[in-house]
Amino acid sequence: MVRTSAPRSRSLNPRLRRRLVPALLLAPAALLLVLVIGYPLVRAILLTFQNFNMLQPSRTTWVGLQNFVQVFHNPVFWIAMRNTLVWVASAVSLQLVFGFIGALLLNQTFFGRDVVRGVLLIPWATPSVLVALMWMWMLDGNYGIVNELLVRVGILKTFFPFLSSPHTALPTLIMIDVWQGIPFFAVMLLAALQAIPLELEQAARVDGANPAQVLWHVKVPLLLPTILITTILRLIWTANYMDLMFVMTNGGPGYATTTMPFFAYTEAYRRIHFSTGATAAFVQALLLGLVIIVYIRILRRQQVV
Let me know: does 175 contact 201? Beta carbons within 8 Å.
no
Q: Show contacts of 62-71: CB within 8 Å, 24+ apart.
A: 63/275, 67/275, 67/276, 67/278, 67/279, 68/279, 68/283, 70/276, 70/279, 71/276, 71/279, 71/280, 71/283
For other proteins, the closer CB: 67 or 284: 284
For other proteins, the closer CB: 82 or 117: 117
Question: What is the nearest approach in angstroms of other proteins to the Cβ of residue 143?
Answer: 5
For other proteins, the closer CB: 65 or 224: 224
For other proteins, the closer CB: 89 or 129: 129
Question: What is the nearest approach in angstroms of other proteins to the Cβ of residue 72?
Answer: 19
Question: What is the nearest approach in angstroms of other proteins to the Cβ of residue 69?
Answer: 18
**Amino acid code (one letter) for 82:** R
Query: What letter would DSSP give residue 62?
Result: B
Question: What is the nearest approach in angstroms of other proteins to the Cβ of residue 89?
Answer: 18
For other proteins, the closer CB: 85 or 148: 148
Three-state SS string over 240-256 comes to HCCHHHHHHHCCCCCCC
Dihedrals φ, ψ of 240, to 5°?
-100, 0
**Would you tell me the crossing angle of helices 169-194 and 220-240 to the nearest 10 degrees?**
140
Question: What is the nearest approach in angstroms of other proteins to the Cβ of residue 77?
Answer: 14
Question: What is the nearest approach in angstroms of other proteins to the Cβ of residue 234?
Answer: 9
Question: What is the nearest approach in angstroms of other proteins to the Cβ of residue 31?
Answer: 9
For other proteins, the closer CB: 93 or 211: 211
Give which of 230, 193, 228, 229 is closest to 214, Cα–Cα: 193
Query: What letter would DSSP give residue 304?
Result: -
C-alpha–C-alpha distance, residues 110 and 56, integer Å: 62
DSSP string, 113-125: HHHHHHHTTHHHH
Instruction: Give the SS3 label for residue 229.
Output: helix
For other proteins, the closer CB: 86 or 243: 243
For other proteins, the closer CB: 44 or 63: 44
CB neighbour list of residue 203: distance below 8 Å, 6 or more residues apart: none
